[in-house]
Homo-oligomer: A and B are copies of this chain.
Amino acid sequence: MLNQAPENVRRIACIGAGPIGGGWAAHFLAQGYLVTSYLHDASEYDALMRLLETAWSSLEAVGLADGASMDNFSWTTDLGKATEKAEFIQESVPEVLPLKQGLYKTLGEIVDANVVIASSTSGLSMTDIQAECATPERTVVAHPFNPPYLLPLVEMIGGEKTSPHTVEWAEQFYRHAGKAPLVMKKEIPGFIATRLQEAIWREALHMVANGEATVEQIDQAVVNGPGPRWALMGPCEIFHVGGGEGGMAYCLDQFGPALKLPWTRLVAPELTDDLRKAMIDGCVEMTAGQDFASLSKKMNDGLVEIAKMKRKLKNQ
């Protein structure tokens, strides 16, 4: 049983002081928490403080929570001290499995078993990370997007020994702490967002390798084309809106045959009746209560704001 309600957490330990660990510290500070960062070496201090200062000016512009202050930050190179009062631990050390396994072995011994330990890992599985931990039930993957203080996504999944209660508790905690947690259904390599991002990246590499597009053309194509839409809606909702009144069903029936075309190097799955139904049902549920006109207006209003913002940033 975890020792308190997720919304009562006040003290957080951030283990690791790189861009991700430091970014998490900035986020939690802006949300009003008391944060202690564990630095592997005191020489990391200067870079961490620069990161926190940069992040803080952005966070002030977005808006701080009541009571949020850089005065609530402390740091140490003593792992025991960093974690002794922590009610939640966010681990962001380098992506080296033996390093993480050793750390979780230690944390498993020195940290109260009722305290949740979440890993920012983008590529390792918690099943592997928790292998040598004596108290693995309270460990969970919670992968942020960089910078963690401006992008809300946290992809979550437990390992084989993780308690389902830990995942629920952590999901509630992150939601309370201003993040957008996403509990995955399966452990898949790269999780969800990175897989989608990696598909674009590999198609881009193929195009440059084949002399089909330059680096700059690829970037212009995204920024001036689909990019602004992706800030507002995911690929499914975009096609659901793109299908007009007919929504995703119209889109799949109209453009399904295009899946057979060589419009990317990624081969498409068979558009079975089950997949067709899953896509349509998913879009209908996700957009429940919003008709085509309101979805379309939401997209347009967002694109107007992005167009205005880009002009403003350009003229600064």
Which A positions have Cβ atoms within 8 angstroms of B? 19, 54, 58, 61-63, 123, 145-147, 150-153, 155, 180, 182, 184-186, 188-209, 211-237, 239, 242, 244, 258-259, 261-272, 274-275, 278-279, 281-283, 285-286, 296-298, 300-313, 316
A309–B62 alpha-carbon span in the complex (Å): 10
Most buried by B among A222, A230, A300: A222
A216-B62 in contact (CB<8A): no
Verify B231–A193 contact, CB threshold 8 A.
Answer: no
Q: Is the CB of A201 within 8 A of B239?
A: yes
Residue of B nearest to A214 (CB): B282
Which B residues are CB-close (under 8 A) to A202? 199, 259, 264, 266-269
CB-based contact A264/B198 at 8 Å: yes
| Inter-chain contact B151/A205, CB cutoff 8 Å | no
Contact A184 B213 (CB under 8 A): yes
Cβ A189 vs Cβ B147 within 8 A: no
A222→B222 CA distance, assembly (Å): 14
Taken together as a complex, chains A and B put the C-alpha atoms of A282 and B272 apart, in Å, by 41
Q: How far is the CB of A297 from chain B (nearest CB, A)?
A: 8
Question: With a CB–CB cut-off of 8 A, which chain B residues contact A189?
Answer: 261-263
- Asked if A213 and B185 sit within 8 Å, CB to CB, the answer is yes
- A95: min CB distance to chain B, Å: 10
- Residues of chain B within 8 A (CB-CB) of A207 are 188, 192, 195
A192 touches B208 (CB 8 A): no
B199/A186 in contact, CB under 8 A: no
Question: Which residues of the other chain, B, contact A204 by a CB distance below 8 angstroms?
Answer: 196, 235-236
B185, A196: Cβ atoms closer than 8 Å: no
| Other-chain contact of A309, B220, B239, B296, B302 (Cβ < 8 Å) | B302
A170 to B304 alpha-carbon distance, docked (Å): 26
The 10 nearest A-B residue pairs measured at CB:
A219-B234, A215-B282, A190-B263, A231-B231, A227-B230, A153-B225, A153-B224, A193-B225, A193-B221, A266-B266
Residues of B within 8 A of A244 (CB): 19
Chain B residue with Cβ nearest A55: B300
Distance (whole angstroms) from the CB of A93 to the closest CB of chain B? 16
